[in-house]
Amino acid sequence: MQTVHTIEWMKQIAHEARAEERILGLVPTMGALHEGHFSLIRAAQREGAPVVVSLFVNPKQFGPAEDLNKYPRTLEADRAALEALGVDYLFAPSPQEMYPSGFRTAVVVEGLSDRLEGRSRPGHFRGVTTVVLKLFEIVQPRFAYFGRKDAQQARLIRQMSTDLNLDTNVVVCPIVREADGLALSSRNVYLKGEDRRSAAALSRSLAAVREEIAKGERDANRLLAALRRVLALEPRVALDYAEIVDNERLEPITNLRGTSYVLLAAKVGDTRLIDNALIEPDGEHFKVSV
Ligand code: PAF
């Protein structure tokens, strides 16, 4: 595996790959890698293309009161894991490399950016889409892989890719969970003791929605009530939002129809977590993937 720190070198690699008609797959990450990231890498490898993993803790997607400074940084362990997985390139630029002084441009996906996570974390998605567009421009990947845990992020990036006629196909991969259902996240390292135990309630609340749907419930308010009943049993869990939204505009729906998501965010102790379930029509019924 080659570790690349400069944009110029990464662009050179991308240029040579294109000249030789080799397509690249990109897995963008902020490091502190876990099995969720590894599943994206394996999906990229199945495509048969050389895989670039970017590792950049993007300051522009953290609000002033958020955890940029304490965000887990485990570069050496990450590098070893990527080597073991047979990744071809690790692109790990510095903040100065990505945002030299005088940097002024931002990418905003209007409308989709200010709801849900965007309402709780103003400016977050502007930072995400700005860095992802830069990564796409630098690496020129044919495919880029994102986890469904960040469903709103994936929806925005897909929209950006469509709107800006990018050549990168956005691939969204399933959520990877711990044995008790907790969705894998680099931030899970913050969860200690009781918080870690309580955090499993998030996926249980989504499973409760799935059970209600299996029993025939289609009313979004009643489905969300079932979710809240589960979370209410956990005093360490403070719900930020829970909504059932359509797949296109991420607007709340009143009754299940088409493809939709149950999206939720909650604080468990001091740690903010997000999770979701995907609801897809399946003949007369709905298939719910937690
Ligand atoms: O999902 C993440 O880890 C980040 O938001 C991403 C896509 C790597 C952009 O910094």
For ligand 1, atom 3, name the residue with the nearest CA.
29
- Does the model's pTM come out above 0.85? yes
pLDDT at 42: 98
Using a 6 Å cutoff on CB, does residue 131 contact ligand 1?
A: yes
pLDDT at 73: 97
Atom of ligand 1 nearest to the CA of 135: 9
124 has catalytic annotation: no
CB 180 within 8 A of CB 204: no
Using a 6 Å cutoff on CB, does residue 128 contact ligand 1?
A: yes
pLDDT at 265: 98
Largest CA distance in the chain: 58
> Do the domains 186-289 and 2-173 match in fold?
no
For ligand 1, atom 2, name the residue with the nearest CA.
29
CA distances, 180 to each of 176, 183, 198, 201 (Å): 11, 9, 10, 9
Structure tokens given for 151: 């469903």
Best substitution site from 29, 52, 55, 56 to test ligand 1's pocket, by max atoms within 8 Å of Cβ?
29
pLDDT in tens, 114-173: 999 999 999 999 999 999 999 999 999 999 999 999 999 999 999 999 999 999 999 999
Average pLDDT, the chain: 97
Atom of ligand 1 nearest to the CA of 58: 10
pLDDT at 44: 98
pLDDT in tens, 218-239: 999 999 999 999 999 999 999 9
- 29 CA from centroid of ligand 1 (Å): 5
CA distances, 290 to each of 38, 80, 214 (Å): 19, 30, 13
Confidence of residue 17 (pLDDT cuts 50, 70, 90): very high
Among the CATH numbers 3.40.50.170, 3.40.630.30, 3.40.50.800, 3.40.50.620, which is that of 2-173? 3.40.50.620
186-289: CATH number: 3.30.1300.10
Atom of ligand 1 nearest to the CA of 56: 10
Domain locations along the chain:
2-173, 186-289
Using a 6 Å cutoff on CB, does residue 117 contact ligand 1?
A: no
Using a 6 Å cutoff on CB, does residue 132 contact ligand 1?
A: yes
- 141 CA from centroid of ligand 1 (Å): 16
Structure tokens given for 218: 């289609």
Q: Which member of 5, 15, 34, 37 is catalytic?
A: 37
CB 266 within 8 A of CB 273: yes
